[in-house]
Amino acid sequence: KPEKPTNNTTKQSSWVSPDWLTSLAQSLSIGKDDSNIPIANAKLEDVSELLGGALFLPLFKWMQEYGPIYRLAAGPRNFVVVSDPAIAKHVLRNYGKYAKGLVAEVSEFLFGSGFAIAEGQLWTVRRRAVVPSLHKTYLSVIVDRVFCKCAERLVEKLKTNALNGSAVNMEENFSQLTLDVIGLALFNYNFDSLTTDSPVIDAVYTALKEAEARSTDLLPYWKINALCKIIPRQIKAEKAVTLIRKTVEELINKCKEIVESEGERIDEEEYVNETDPSILRFLLASREEVSSIQLRDDLLSMLVAGHETTGSVLTWTAYLLSKDPSSLSKAQEEVDRVLQGRSPTYEDIKNLKFLTRCINESLRLYPHPPVLLRRAQVADVLPGNYKVNPGQDIMISVYNIHHSPQVWDRAEVFVPERFDLDGPMPNETNTDFRFIPFSGGPRKCIGDQFALLEAIVALAIFVQHMDFELVPDQNISMTTGATIHTENGLYMKVSQRQTKSAFAASSSSSR
């Protein structure tokens, strides 16, 4: 029986550790820095951008000035910023030496003891328990029953915009789509956010926004409990988290009752319950000894990690395709040829090769999150002989690695074909950490296949039924939190495609 898990993430705060002073001294360049790491001379206006806006943009600028590793001082915080695949590989693979650090601090109010931010034994045990639920049979069932159904609902909704000619915020719609998907896939719960407003949906967005805001707050006042009780933003966040937790707890209790009354147990390797294929049902039927609170926090980890990320991938892929009509028509021709007017099955997906490469390339140009955070647990020497002290916060800029001209040819250009159409799915291993949208090493995303399938299905159904173009003259500026998103939405004009004639044309040309 596994040791009783403990979560030690809260003990790692750099704000209270003695390393804070060393960190501050390094920030101010006081004392000798023998780390070999150049210190970036951040200007005040850049730091303010760091704290409120698109964090990864100044990080990119400084990479061009200071190279693939530099030290950045932002107020009392001090980060080593990494933009080099070999150093990223070292940090991400050596999980024992590097913990999640700041990420855990800013999102603990929501994740609790969930395994996305847990460390040590708790993380090992919970990740091992959850991973088997995402097996191949589950994914194939979910493609049909959840991914396709939700994407079809989105298309139905967009037909109204197509008819009345109104501009539609695709970022909002993709975010609603992926919330509906993750609710059904995780707990068989229909948020139905594409068509309704509800307090739970508002609560999910409020909590996500709070986690984002915390990641860029200069003063982490929310660590002081008394302040959280009087500051309106914190009161709102706490209320939101309470509602989300209550909703998930109710779902767990209901599902537990059913599993127990039916005496359900997992009796085959790739078990899926016919009436409720959700991950919650799988985990309960596996009859693992886990508290409802831990289960709730693990499911919330997946809800948060899997919602906005996939929504943002769809947003930026649609944006890139709207700017590149020849890639869009290539994707539409492929979808028409492979699907012949129907929705995709799990088996079809491997044939949507170009569409998949559009998503891979979108993940290269817009990685979510654009920066991965780690905190050194021990002294270490990084490849290139750069020394780091225990407690050092590290930012791995995935955005920089993916945009670096040292790493990629024509790094700034959208070229879906740069990934061999008939080659394997690009990942951290086969690109030697040049392409790391799902991170790498032991804490790599557990939902990578789920997310790719979801994005391919949603995009296939969207381009199959819709033509779309950007509303002209809108200001599409980027901002960050957990993902890269727009500041004001992504507005498009959509029109219904004449799919029948498109199929006829493409099938006659491919004959």
Which one of the spans 192-200, 221-229, 301-309, 419-427 is the region binding ligand HEM (CB under 6 A)? 301-309
Answer yes or no whether residue 183 interacts with ligand HEM by CB under 6 A: no
Q: Is the peptide bond before 5 cis (omega within 30 degrees of 0)?
A: no
Rounded to a whole number of angstroms, the minimum distance from the CB of residue 446 to ligand HEM is 5
Task: Confirm or reject binding of residue 77 to ligand HEM (CB under 6 A).
Answer: no
Q: State the minimum distance, in angstroms, from the CB of residue 438 to ligand HEM.
A: 5
Alpha helices in 263-415 (DSSP H): 279-285, 292-322, 325-339, 353-365, 398-403
CB of 510 to ligand HEM, least distance (A): 30
Residues 78-117 touching ligand HEM, rule: CB under 6 A, are: 115-116
For residue 68, what are the contacts with CB-CB under 8 A and spacing of at least 6?
Answer: 82, 83, 84, 87, 400, 404, 406
Q: Considering only residues 68, 101, 112, 306, which one is a binding residue for ligand HEM as defined by CB under 6 A? A: 306
In the complex, the smallest distance separating the C-beta of residue 231 from ligand HEM, rounded to whole angstroms, is 28
Q: Where are the beta strands (DSSP E) in 348-471?
A: 371-376, 380-382, 386-388, 393-397, 466-470
Query: Contacts by 121-124 with C-beta closer than 8 Å and gap 24+?
Result: 121/2, 121/3, 121/5, 121/6, 122/5, 122/6, 122/7
Whether 400 and 372 have beta carbons less than 8 Å apart is answered as no
Contact map string, positions 412 to 431, toward ligand HEM, x by CB under 6 A: --------------------
Pick the piece of the chain touching ligand HEM (CB under 6 A) from 218-226, 378-386, 415-423, 433-441. 433-441
- Cα end-to-end distance, the chain, whole Å: 61
What is the smallest separation between the CB atom of 116 and ligand HEM, expressed in angstroms? 4
Give 55 or 162: the residue with its C-beta nearer to ligand HEM.
55
5 in contact with ligand HEM (CB under 6 A): no
Q: How far is the CB of 374 from ligand HEM (least distance, A)?
A: 7
User: What gap in Å lies between CA 184 and CA 161, rounded to an integer?
Assistant: 26
Q: Which tokens is 327 given? A: 């890639």
CA distance 509 to 505: 6
Residue 176 lies near ligand HEM (rule: CB under 6 A): no
Which listed residue (313, 328, 339, 382) binds ligand HEM by CB under 6 A? 313
Q: With binding defined as CB under 6 A, does residue 278 bind ligand HEM?
A: no
Q: Distance (Å, rounded) from C-alpha 248 to C-alpha 242?
A: 10
362 contacts ligand HEM (rule: CB under 6 A): no
Q: How far is the CB of 276 from ligand HEM (least distance, A)?
A: 17
**Residue from the set 161, 193, 301, 397 that interacts with ligand HEM by CB under 6 A:** 301
Distance of CA 358 to the CA centre of its chain: 17
Q: Which residues contact 225 (CB under 8 A, 6 or more apart)?
A: none
Dist CA 174 CA 154 (whole Å): 8
Structure token pair of residue 2: 């596994």
Q: Nearest approach, Cβ of 136 to ligand HEM (angstroms)?
A: 15
If the CB atoms of residues 294 and 439 are measured against ligand HEM, the closer one turns out to be 439
Interaction site with ligand HEM (CB under 6 A): 115-116, 127, 301-302, 305-306, 309-310, 313, 368, 372, 437-439, 443, 445-447, 450-451
